[in-house]
């Protein structure tokens, strides 16, 4: 009877909703492909073959997935404490910019064991600051983090351009000076792909987040705050501190994107680097149900689509994959609501009693 | 500075302000009914695209504008379906809606015009803003919507639904229907804003909404969720933008353009934090039932 509210059943429900959303997205994509006059089987087949069918393809998928793991974790971290961080885009830009500036400012002979952590922690620190500001505004003034983070995205984009033009960009370009050799992250050696060691770093963060959510006191406190801020306050949790800390950590995670794009690939910061990965982090976190492992899987899926879209561009416009990604999220929002509703109404059948129905409603 | 505040300058300010104002007006309706207006960006982009298709096919500016209204409304219907019918998180639904339009419009542009970057030229607006019927339509809409929200029974219902949906329902106001109406109207108004963008540029270019939906949201917050105040905030943003464009063209400008660009956003954060009077959102904003 009460199985309808058990975690096991909830998970099955969410997986069902996710599978349904993927099907809807595939179907919508097929319609667009047919409109274009191509065969869906051929396009999807090419997409798969060119991504997971070769070492280079796999490497490119991992390369595209890496920033999404960072930003997806960033969104999931804040969401655990009940906060929606729409500012990963700006935190990421600030982080990558500072990573590049710090990496270029180091003495040229700095060894890797020193240069990489220094450049990266400078970037993550910048991301943390950009994240902590809306956290503080929320905790201190009650300014909603959704709006302040959106607005900060634009402020950061402008500030980075301004700082760049004021002296950090190489003259007549929109990119910074190259980082020192020691700060460069090694390649994963998957064909000629751009996949680099930052993917391993991302995996480490996934494991850390799983441990943090599941095994630490702070992680538990965040969850209480996320469930109900007044209840958390009443039980003695310092909610304001949690809000600021959660946003700062979230920002730091988004700031780590520079490891992939700057330290691992370009070796400098360029205007528009990894643009959109911050917003995509929201989609990735949602698709991954806010769970670290789910974020990893969702990022790999979106990474596959991102590189796959590039590869099928000869058959259909690559914008197709952007549509697929968006439809997936919209469909997931709809199907999870529909599946939730179905689960709510199911116990109302004569086989069960009225108590179950009320339980289910409270659970949802 | 001399010679800057000419009639041409005023016209430029108005030209920039119109799409902001229409989107902000629509967004105010939606937010006053308790539905987050973050999908304005997608509505603007959708409206700009359908306008281009219609104006290209028929050669008529008026039909283009109407198609813009229809396109924005269509985007709003999709958003409403997810946010209202399925009661999903409105912020996430908005962002996904915007993502969809940013992918769909270049795809369809490639399909229709053979280029995802831009469309062929369409009949557009003339150089004189004040001679454009569409400008006067926009102005009339501003006045009408401000009056509607403040003085009519529908406006009262709108505010009741956004602030106290349960109380509204208990006195017999159909909450969902009012919210649907508000969202669809916001789509129509933002779609007309998109039409202005496309007609003003005489064609569609990829990502031509360029963050204007977010500026409109900033104006809504600056205007404390009052239609006329939101439009004045848009006018201020339009003024700052035009000033910047002119300074750049003439003197090179002592003020870095990035600092002017971030002005609306900084002001919004400051307003939300309560430094320029309390900016309080409608009571049930973003809460599905």
Contact B103 A337 (CB under 8 A): no
Asked if A32 contacts A323 with a C-beta cutoff of 8 angstroms, the reply is: yes
Alpha carbon of A312: minimum distance to chain B alpha carbons (Å): 13
Check CB contact of A338 with chain B, cutoff 8 Å. Answer: yes
CB pairs under 8 A between A and B: 131
Nearest CA in chain B to A317: B107
Check CB contact of A28 with chain B, cutoff 8 Å. Answer: no
Alpha carbon of A188: minimum distance to chain B alpha carbons (Å): 31
Question: What backbone phi and psi angles, to 5 degrees, belong to A361?
Answer: -65, -40
Closest partner residue to B100 (CB to CB) among A144, A326, A334 is A326
Q: Evaluate whether residue A5 is within a structural domain.
A: no
pLDDT of residue A1: 39
Check CB contact of B121 with chain A, cutoff 8 Å. Answer: no
Looking at per-residue pLDDT, the higher value among B277 and A363 belongs to B277
Closest partner residue to B269 (CB to CB) among A86, A151, A161 is A151
Q: Evaluate whether residue A352 is within a structural domain.
A: no
Find tokens 């705050």 and name the residue: A225
Span B193-216, average pLDDT: 95
Q: Mean of the per-residue pLDDT values for chain B?
A: 91
Show the tokens assigned to B252. 């090179």
B218 neighbourhood in chain A, CB within 8 Å: 151
Alpha carbon of A68: minimum distance to chain B alpha carbons (Å): 15
Question: What backbone phi and psi angles, to 5 degrees, belong to A204?
Answer: -60, -45
Surface-to-core class of residue A261, CB atoms within 10 Å of its CB (0-12 exposed, 13-18 middle, 19+ buried): buried
Contact B99 A329 (CB under 8 A): yes
pLDDT of residue A219: 96
Q: Per-residue DSSP letters for A139-181?
A: HHH---HHHHHHHHHHHHHHHHHHHIIIIIBPTTSSBBPPPPG
pLDDT of residue A291: 95
Check CB contact of A364 with chain B, cutoff 8 Å. Answer: no
Closest partner residue to B92 (CB to CB) among A140, A319, A333 is A333
Check CB contact of B37 with chain A, cutoff 8 Å. Answer: no
Q: Name, in order, each residue with C-beta under 8 angstroms of B209's C-beta and a sequence gap of 6 or more.
A: B41, B42, B44, B45, B48, B194, B197
Sites in chain A below the pLDDT cut of 50: 1-4, 348-364
| Assigned CATH for B7-272 | 1.10.3470.10
Closest CA to A198 of A79, A109, A305, A95: A95
Closest CA to A280 of B92, B30, B145: B92
C-alpha B50/C-alpha B197 separation (Å) is 12
Q: What's the whole-model pTM score?
A: 0.91
Closest partner residue to B99 (CB to CB) among A146, A148, A322 is A322
- B278 pLDDT band (50/70/90 cuts)? low
B81 neighbourhood in chain A, CB within 8 Å: 334
Asked if B71 contacts B47 with a C-beta cutoff of 8 angstroms, the reply is: yes
C-alpha A363/C-alpha B14 separation (Å) is 52
Closest partner residue to A162 (CB to CB) among B102, B217, B258 is B258
Residues in chain A: 364
Asked if B271 contacts B279 with a C-beta cutoff of 8 angstroms, the reply is: yes
C-alpha A187/C-alpha A192 separation (Å) is 9
Q: Is residue B231 over pLDDT 80? A: yes
C-alpha A47/C-alpha A183 separation (Å) is 34
pLDDT of residue A125: 98
Q: Evaluate whether residue A88 is within a structural domain.
A: yes
Q: Is residue B72 over pLDDT 80? A: yes
pLDDT of residue B253: 54
Neighbours of B214 (CB within 10 A): 23
A76 neighbourhood in chain B, CB within 8 Å: none
Contact A319 B116 (CB under 8 A): yes
C-alpha B142/C-alpha B154 separation (Å) is 16
Alpha carbon of A266: minimum distance to chain B alpha carbons (Å): 25
Q: Evaluate whether residue A73 is within a structural domain.
A: yes
Contact A165 B78 (CB under 8 A): no
Q: Evaluate whether residue A319 is within a structural domain.
A: no
Buried b / exposed e along B77-111 (16+ C-beta atoms within 10 A) = ebbbbbbbebbbbbbbbbbbbbbbbbbbbbbbbbe
Which residues 204-263 on chain B approach chain A with CB closer than 8 angstroms? 211, 214, 217-218, 221, 256, 258-259, 261-262
- B258 pLDDT band (50/70/90 cuts)? confident
Residues in chain B: 289
Residue-number span of the structural domain to which A254 is assigned:
66-299
A322 neighbourhood in chain B, CB within 8 Å: 99-100, 102-104, 107
Q: Evaluate whether residue A109 is within a structural domain.
A: yes
Neighbours of B52 (CB within 10 A): 35
Question: What backbone phi and psi angles, to 5 degrees, belong to B275?
Answer: -80, -25
Span B151-168, average pLDDT: 94
Alpha carbon of B111: minimum distance to chain A alpha carbons (Å): 7
Asked if B102 contacts B75 with a C-beta cutoff of 8 angstroms, the reply is: no
Q: Evaluate whether residue A4 is within a structural domain.
A: no
Locate the domains of chain B by residue range: 7-272
Q: Evaluate whether residue A137 is within a structural domain.
A: yes
Closest CA to B167 of B35, B34, B278, B286: B34
- B250 pLDDT band (50/70/90 cuts)? low
B37 neighbourhood in chain A, CB within 8 Å: none
In A53-171, which residue ranges form alpha helices assigned H by DSSP?
55-80, 88-105, 112-141, 145-163
**How many folded domains does chain A comprise?**
1
Show the tokens assigned to A127. 């991301």
- Percent of chain B whose predicted confidence (pLDDT) is above 70: 94
pLDDT of residue B275: 67
Asked if B279 contacts B223 with a C-beta cutoff of 8 angstroms, the reply is: no
C-alpha B79/C-alpha B93 separation (Å) is 7
B47-66 pLDDT, tens per residue?
999 999 999 999 999 999 99
Span B221-240, average pLDDT: 92
pLDDT of residue B286: 83
Which residues 54-93 on chain A approach chain B with CB closer than 8 angstroms? 84, 86
Closest partner residue to B272 (CB to CB) among A148, A161, A283 is A148
Nearest CA in chain A to B79: A330
Closest partner residue to A147 (CB to CB) among B261, B268, B274 is B268
C-alpha A13/C-alpha A313 separation (Å) is 35
Asked if B213 contacts B102 with a C-beta cutoff of 8 angstroms, the reply is: no
Closest partner residue to B93 (CB to CB) among A166, A321, A333 is A333
ipTM for the complex shown = 0.91
């Amino acid at each position: 009877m009460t199985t309808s509210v058990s975690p096991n059943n909830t998970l099955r429900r969410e997986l069902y909703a996710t599978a349904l959303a993927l099907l809807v997205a595939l179907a919508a994509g097929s319609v667009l492909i047919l409109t274009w006059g191509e065969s869906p089987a051929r396009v999807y087949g090419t997409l798969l073959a060119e991504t997971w069918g070769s070492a280079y393809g796999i490497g490119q998928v991992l390369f595209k997935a890496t920033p999404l793991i960072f930003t997806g974790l960033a969104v999931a971290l804040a969401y655990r404490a009940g906060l929606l961080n729409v500012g990963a885009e700006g935190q990421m830009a600030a982080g990558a910019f500072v990573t590049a500036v710090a990496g270029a400012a180091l003495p040229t002979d700095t060894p890797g064991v020193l240069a990489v952590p220094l450049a990266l922690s400078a970037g993550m620190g910048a991301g943390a600051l950009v994240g902590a500001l809306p956290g503080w505004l929320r905790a201190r003034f009650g300014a909603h983090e959704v709006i302040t983070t959106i607005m900060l995205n634009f402020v950061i984009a402008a500030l980075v351009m301004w700082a760049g033009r004021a002296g950090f960009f190489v003259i007549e370009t929109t990119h910074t000076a190259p980082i020192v050799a020691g700060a460069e992250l090694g390649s994963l050696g998957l064909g000629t792909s751009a996949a680099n060691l930052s993917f391993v770093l991302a995996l480490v963060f996934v494991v850390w987040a799983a441990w943090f959510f599941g095994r630490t006191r702070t992680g538990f406190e965040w969850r209480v705050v996320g469930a109900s801020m007044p209840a958390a306050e009443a039980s003695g949790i310092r909610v304001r501190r949690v809000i600021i800390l959660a946003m700062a950590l979230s920002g730091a995670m988004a700031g780590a994107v520079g490891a992939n794009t700057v330290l691992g690939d370009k070796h400098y910061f360029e205007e528009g680097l990894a643009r959109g990965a911050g917003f995509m982090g929201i989609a990735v976190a949602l698709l991954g149900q806010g769970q670290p492992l789910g974020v990893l899987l969702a990022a790999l899926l979106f990474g596959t689509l991102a590189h796959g879209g590039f590869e099928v561009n000869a058959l259909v416009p690559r914008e197709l994959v952007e549509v697929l990604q968006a439809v997936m999220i919209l469909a997931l929002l709809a199907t999870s609501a529909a599946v939730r509703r179905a689960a709510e109404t199911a116990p109302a059948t004569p086989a069960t009693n009225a108590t179950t129905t009320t339980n289910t409603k409270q659970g949802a | 500075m001399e010679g800057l505040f000419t009639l041409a300058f005023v016209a430029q300010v108005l030209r920039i302000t119109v799409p902001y104002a229409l989107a902000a007006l629509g967004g105010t309706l939606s937010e006053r009914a308790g539905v987050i207006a973050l999908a304005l960006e997608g509505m603007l982009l959708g409206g700009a695209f359908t306008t281009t298709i219609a104006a290209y096919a028929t050669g008529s500016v008026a039909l283009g504008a109407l198609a813009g209204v229809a396109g924005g409304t269509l985007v709003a219907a999709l958003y409403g379906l997810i946010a209202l019918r399925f009661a999903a998180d409105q912020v996430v639904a908005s962002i996904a809606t915007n993502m969809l339009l940013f992918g769909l419009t270049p795809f369809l542009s490639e399909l229709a015009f053979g280029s995802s970057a831009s469309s062929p030229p369409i009949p557009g607006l003339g150089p004189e803003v004040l001679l454009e019927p569409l400008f006067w339509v926009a102005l009339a809409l501003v006045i009408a919507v401000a009056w509607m929200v403040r003085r009519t029974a529908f406006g009262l219902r709108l505010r009741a639904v956004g602030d106290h949906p349960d109380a509204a329902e208990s006195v017999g106001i159909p909450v969902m229907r009012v919210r649907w109406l508000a969202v669809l109207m916001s789509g129509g108004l933002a779609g007309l804003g998109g039409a202005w963008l496309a007609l003003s540029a005489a064609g569609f270019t990829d990502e031509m909404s360029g963050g204007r939906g977010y500026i409109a949201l900033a104006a809504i917050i600056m205007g404390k969720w009052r239609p006329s105040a939101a439009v004045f905030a848009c006018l201020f943003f339009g003024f700052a933008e035009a000033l910047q464009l002119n300074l750049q063209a003439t003197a090179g400008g002592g003020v870095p353009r990035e600092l002017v660009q971030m002005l609306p956003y900084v002001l919004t954060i400051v307003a939300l934090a309560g430094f320029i009077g309390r900016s309080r959102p409608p009571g049930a904003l973003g809460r599905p039932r």
